[in-house]
Structure 1
Amino acid sequence: MKSKITGLEQIAFLFLLLVFILGLYFGFTDDIYFDTVFTVEDGVIEYLTAVMLISISFLSLFRLIKLGKVKKALWILGTSLFVLLFVFGAGEEISWGQRIFDVESSEFFKENNAQGETNLHNMVVGGKKVNKVIFSQLLTLVLVIYLIVCPILFRKASWFKSLANRFAVPIPRWSHTIAFLLSTAFVLAIPSDRKWEVYELAFGVIFLLIFINPLNGEIFKNQEEANYL
C-alpha cells in the first residue's frame, strides 16, 4: 500500500496541469475561444473524456476475463458493474455517438432533452435538468464519499476493507484525492460556464489512474491467492 506516485501518474498529473493552465489562460483572456474551441461540443476535451471513461471499462473487462474464473461472485459482480457504469459514462459523454454518426434524435428526446440529444444527463423532468440534480449534486456527494471518506475507512475499519475488496472496489490513494481537490480548485477559478467540460476530463483521467493503481491493487493481481477474498 505504498503511496509512491508512479511514472504514469506523474505524466497524467502534468497533462492535467497543462490543461488547467490553458483553461485558465483562455478562460480569462478569450472566453469566446474557450467556449467555441477549447471546450466546444465534440471537441478534443470531450472526446478525451470519453476515451478515459471507456478505457476504465476496457480495463475492468480485461480483469474480468483474466481473473473471473478464480474470483468469487461478489468480485465478478462488482467488476461487471464497473464495466457497464463506465460504458454508460462514455456513451453519455458523446451522446452515444449521435453526432459522430449523424443520427437524428427521436421525437421523445427532441421534446424532453434540453439539447435535443440522445442522452439522459440533459433530460428535463418536471422542469428540472437531470444533469443538475443527479449528475451534479448527487455525483458531488458520491465523489466526496469515495475520494475522502472511503480511503479513511479502508485504512481504519477492517469491515469496510473487506467489503471493498469483496466487491472489487478500487480505493483511491491520497495522491488521487489531492489531485482531484486541486482540479476542483483550478476549475472553479475558470470564469466560463463551460468549465465543467474540463472538470469532466479531470474526472476521467484521475479515475483511470485510480483503477490502474488503487490502494488495494492486490485484489487485481493474478495469484493463486484468489483465496484472498
Structure 2
Amino acid sequence: MKNLSKTELLGFMFLLVTFVNSLYFGFTDEMLFNEHYAQEDGLVENETALMLLGVSLLCIYHLFRGWKYKKILWKTGTVIFAVLFFFAAGEEISWGQRIFGITSGDFFVENNAQGETNLHNLVVGDTKINKLIFSQLLMVVMVTYLLIVPLLYRKTRWVKNLADTFAVPIVAWKHTIAFIACTILVSIIPADRKWEVYELAFGILFFLIFLAPFNRHIFEKKENGAPE
C-alpha cells in the first residue's frame, strides 16, 4: 500500500468500507439490505452510477491531457471507453428517469421487465437482455479482462502493442487480488440483492484501474506512449 497515491488509497478504503457495511447489513438485517441499502435508486446503486461516471470523466481527462501528443488510435480507444462508461452510468439509474420523475414511453412499458427507460432490462421474447448480455456475457468479458489479459500483456508482444495503441488500461495484480476478494465476499452475503454490491465493486475497481493501470505509461504526455 505504500506505493499507492492518495486517490488510490481512498478508492481502496471506499471498497473496504463498502464490504464492511455490506457484510454487516447482509448478515444482520436482510430486509434493510434489500429494501434500503441495495434497493433500486438506493445508496449502492447511486454510488455505482457515480463511480462509472467517474471513469468516463477520467477518460475525458486523459483525452484532453494527451490530445496533442497521442495518435488517432489512442484517441479512438479513449473516446470509446468514455462513451461506454457514460452509457453504463446512465443505464444504472435508468437515465435519471426516477430522479426527474420521467414517465417511460410505450415501448419501454411493454418491453422492459421493470417498465423503465433502459436497455439492460429489456425482454425479447422470453429472454431478458440483462441476464443474457449484461450478466452472462459481461461476466465472461470481465473475467477475461481482469485475469487473462494481464497475463497475455506481460507475455505476448502483440497483445502489449495492441493494448497500448488503443489506450487499454491493463490490470495490476493489486486489482486482480481485489476482484477475487470481492467475488468471494459477495458470494457469502445471504441477502438477495447482494449483486448490486458486486456492481459497485466493479465500478470502484474500474476507476482504480483507469486511474493507475499496470501500463500507466499510456497516459503520459508522449507521442509514442513511452514513460517520461
Question: Normalising TM by the smaller chain, what interval?
Answer: over 0.9
Aligned to 2:15: 16
Aligned to 1:78: 77
Could you tell me which amino acid in structure 2 is paired with residue 66 of structure 1?
A: R
Aligned to 2:170: 171
Deviation, 1:104, is 0.1
Aligned to 1:96: 95
Deviation, 1:228, is 3.6
Separation in structure 2 between the aligned mates of residue 228 and residue 43 of structure 1, nearest angstrom? 41
Deviation digits for residues 124-177 of structure 1 (CA, Å, limit 9, x no counterpart): 112111111101110111011100111101111111100000000000100001
1:227 to 193, 218, 224: 224
Aligned to 2:37: 38
Deviation digits for residues 40-99 of structure 1 (CA, Å, limit 9, x no counterpart): 211121111111111111111122122123211111110010011001000000000101
Q: Tell me, yes or no, if the aligned pair for 1:5 and 1:175 is still in contact at 8 Å.
A: no
The secondary structure found in structure 2 opposite 1:117 is coil
Separation in structure 2 between the aligned mates of residue 79 and residue 204 of structure 1, nearest angstrom? 17
Mark the CA change 1:36 to 1:162 in structure 2 (over 3 Å): closer, same or farther.
Answer: same
Separation in structure 2 between the aligned mates of residue 201 and residue 227 of structure 1, nearest angstrom? 34
Separation in structure 1 between the aligned mates of residue 119 and residue 23 of structure 2, nearest angstrom? 29
Separation in structure 2 between the aligned mates of residue 116 and residue 180 of structure 1, nearest angstrom? 32
Q: Tell me, yes or no, if the aligned pair for 1:68 and 1:76 is still in contact at 8 Å.
A: yes
The total of aligned residue pairs comes to: 225
Equivalences for residues 111-122 of structure 1 within 5 A? 111-122=110-121
2:55 paired with 1:61: no
Q: Tell me, yes or no, if the aligned pair for 2:219 and 2:225 is still in contact at 8 Å.
A: no
Identity of aligned residues (%): 55
Q: Which moved more, 1:60-69 or 1:8-17?
A: 8-17
Separation in structure 1 between the aligned mates of residue 62 and residue 165 of structure 2, nearest angstrom? 14
Separation in structure 2 between the aligned mates of residue 102 and residue 199 of structure 1, nearest angstrom? 27
Could you tell me which amino acid in structure 1 is paired with residue 224 of structure 2?
A: N
Q: Tell me, yes or no, if the aligned pair for 2:8 and 2:208 is still in contact at 8 Å.
A: yes
Unaligned runs of 5+ in 1: none
Separation in structure 2 between the aligned mates of residue 22 and residue 118 of structure 1, nearest angstrom? 30
Deviation, 1:222, is 1.3
The secondary structure found in structure 2 opposite 1:115 is coil
Q: TM-score when scaled to structure 1?
A: 0.94
Q: Tell me, yes or no, if the aligned pair for 1:176 and 1:206 is still in contact at 8 Å.
A: yes
Aligned to 1:26: 25
Deviation digits for residues 15-47 of structure 1 (CA, Å, limit 9, x no counterpart): 222221221222122111001111121112111
RMSD: 1.4
Equivalences for residues 1-12 of structure 1 within 5 A? 4-12=3-11
Separation in structure 2 between the aligned mates of residue 139 and residue 49 of structure 1, nearest angstrom? 16
Q: Which moved more, 1:134-143 or 1:4-13?
A: 4-13
